[in-house]
Amino acid sequence: MSIFYGLSAFLITPTDEGGRVDTHALATLLRRLEEAGVDSIGLLGSTGTYAYLTRVERRRAIEAAAGCVGGRVPLVVGVGALRTDDAQDLARDAQAAGADGLLLAPVSYTPLTDEEVFQHFAAVAAAVDLPLCIYNNPGTTHFSFSDDLLARLAGVYGIAAVKNPAPAPSEAPAAVEALRMLLPAGCAVGYSGDWHAAQAVLAGGVAWYSVIGGLLPRPSLALMRAAQAGDAAEVRRLNTTFEPLWDLFKQHGSLRVVYAAANLLGLTDAQPPRPILPLGAAERGRLARALSALEA
């Protein structure tokens, strides 16, 4: 079974104000995920603020995570960077520190062409012996992969999976089918964007790269298992219980919301890296009610 299947739980990386990783708080979060039985852990994804951390701190986080859950829960590690040589170094670091797979986003400042992204991914894949998942997240990278570019990249040795933004539910069956037809059979197509991801799995996606799964693994696993079982009615029913949380995600961005939720649940006092600001007091009240409804 590939590491790019099932519920991949993406967690925050707790740090101090200066960006130094709190490995103790990280271990608390990781143990919670292991105990719940998530299928993999997404370390240093967008939710894990990889873009805001130094190479040294990223390596410290991977080593701490491997020491905590390594060998028991697959570790998928984000290695995105603006420069190709930096992304290669981060990929080598991740492999040396105990990652089981890599996640690579085409981080950009100068807008990139398809050919530039292709060569960037091929160079990173060639630098290591780990399977790599293409992280297509136009909302943060401002690069959008066409299905054709994904298909071209899926032919590169080492590239084993795609993490796409989940399409609107009405479009999911056609979109998932169209992409799977273009990709080799072994390439695992998964989805992020928590509020539509379960429907994308119902439509044939094999993984949910989940922000809320990194904080509330049990209800997230219930939703994912229903989707994997093809139980559309149960997916609808469970999705309804998440609805107040999805509304907060859409309004404030999932990152600000999961930091506040981790604070409210007493898991860590860490705040997102500045300039990103914590959720305001009124929204924390809304969030507390959304979390209670989910746990009920």
Q: Which residues are annotated as a binding site for pyruvate?
A: 47
User: Binder to its own copies among 71, 72, 109, 129 (CB under 8 A)?
Assistant: 109
d(CA 160, CA 125): 10
For residue 176, report the phi and psi dihedrals to the nearest 5 degrees.
-65, -45
Residue 52 interacting with its own copies (CB under 8 A): yes
Q: Is 277 in the site for its own copies (CB under 8 A)?
A: yes
In the chain, what is the straight-line distance between the N-terminal and C-terminal CA atoms, in Å?
33
Closest distance between its own copies and the C-beta of residue 142, in Å? 5
Q: Of residues 20, 24, 142, 237, which one binds its own copies by CB under 8 A?
A: 142
Shortest Å distance, C-beta 209 to its own copies: 16
Q: In the range 238-257, which residues lie near its own copies by CB under 8 A?
A: 253, 255
**Is the Cβ of residue 244 or residue 278 nearer to its own copies in the bound state?**
278
What is the secondary structure of 180-249 as a DSSP string? HHHS-TTSEEEEE-HHHHHHHHHTT--EEEESGGGT-HHHHHHHHHHHHTT-HHHHHHHHHHHHHHHHHH
Reply yes or no on whether 52 is catalytic. Answer: no
Under the binding rule (CB under 8 A), the answer on residue 19 touching its own copies is: yes
Torsion of the alpha carbons at 64, 70, 73 and 74, rounded to the nearest 10: 90
- Our finding on whether 295 is near its own copies (CB under 8 A) is no
The secondary structure element, H or E, covering residue 75 is strand 75-78
Candidates 83, 237, 250, 289: give the one binding its own copies (CB under 8 A). 83
Quote the tokens at residue 111: 């807008």
CA distance 87 to 123: 9
Residues in the chain, total: 296
Q: How far is the CB of 159 from its own copies (least distance, A)?
A: 16
Catalytic site residue from 50, 163, 191, 259: 163
Shortest approach of its own copies to residue 4 CB, angstroms?
Answer: 23
Binds its own copies (CB under 8 A): choice among 112, 128, 175, 294: 112
Taking CB under 8 A as the binding criterion, the range among 24-32, 71-79, 230-238, 266-274 that sits at the site for its own copies is 266-274
Residues 6+ apart with CB under 8 A from 135: 45, 78, 80, 103, 104, 105, 141, 163
Catalytic residues: 135, 163
Residues found near its own copies in the complex (CB under 8 A): 17-19, 46, 49, 51-52, 82-85, 106-107, 109-113, 115-117, 119-120, 123, 139-140, 142, 253, 255, 272-277
